[in-house]
Structure 1
Amino acid sequence: MWKKNSVMLCLLLCAAMGVGKAETGFSRDSLRAAIVILEKLPSSFSRDSSLSVYYNELIEKLNYGSLPGVGETLETFARKQKGYRWPVSMAFVLRARARIHEKSGDYLKAVQEYHEAIRTMEGEAYIGEQLAYTYVLLAYAVLNNGDRFKAWDLFERSAEISKNVDDKSILIWALDFFGDNTLFHAENRSDYLKALAYYKEVEALLPESRVANQIPNNLQGQAKAYALLGEGERAAEYRQKALDYALALPVPNYFNVYETYRDWAAFEASEGRADSAIVYQQRALDAALKFNFVEILNRAYHSLYIYQKKAGRYPEALGTLEAYTRLEDSLNRQEVNKKYAELDGKYENEKSQNRIKSLENKNLKYGLAVLLVSLSGGLIALFVSLRGKRKVAALNSQLAERNHQVEEALYEGKKLERRRVSDQLHDSIATKVSALKWKVEANEGKIDPATFESLRSSLEEIYEDVRTTAHGLRPLEFLDKGLKSAIEELLGHLTDQKRTFFSIYIDDGVSRLNKSLQYHIYQWTVELCTNLQKHAKATRVFFEVHVTGDTVTVWFENDGLLDNRPLKEGQGLRNIRAKASEYRAMMRVEKQGLFRFELKIPL
Structure 2
Amino acid sequence: MAVYFKRLHFWMFLFFSFSALAQLENGKKTLVHKNTALSPEEKNIKALYALYNKGDEKKAYLKAHSLLKSSSSNRLIASADLLLAYYFNKRALVDSSLYYTRQALKFNTTVNDSLKNRLYGLSYNLMAINYKKRGLFEESKKWHIKGIEVSQKYNEKNLYYTHTHGLAKTYADLGDYKKALELFKKCLEYKEDEEIILGSCINIGDIYSDMKEYDNANSYYKKGKTLCEKTNNNQGRAVILLGLGANYQLQHKLDEALKMYQEAVVIADKGELNQIAVIARGNVADIYIDQKKYNEAKLIFSEGIQKAVQFGFLQDQVHFYDELQKIAVLQDDYKNAYNYLGKSNQIKDSINKLQKIKEINELEIKYNTSEKEKAIKQLEFENETKKLTLANQTEALKNMSLREEITKKINENTILFFQNSADKKRNEINLLKKDQQLKTLEISQQKKNRAFTILAFLIILIPIAGLSFQYRNRLKNQRLLNAKQIEISTQRINGILKDQELKLIKASISGQDKERERISQELHDSIGGNLAAIKLQLTNLNESNLSNVENLNSQLDETYQQVRNLAHNLIPKKFSNHKFCEVLESYLKNISEASRIKISFTTYPKAEINAMDETIQIETFKIVQELLTNTIKHAKASAVELQFNLIDNSLNILFEDNGVGFNTENYSRGIGFINLEARIAKLDGTFALDSKLKRGTIANIEIPILDHSNVKKNPVQGIQIKNQLIT
* TM-score normalised over the length of structure 1: 0.49
* TM-score normalised over the length of structure 2: 0.41
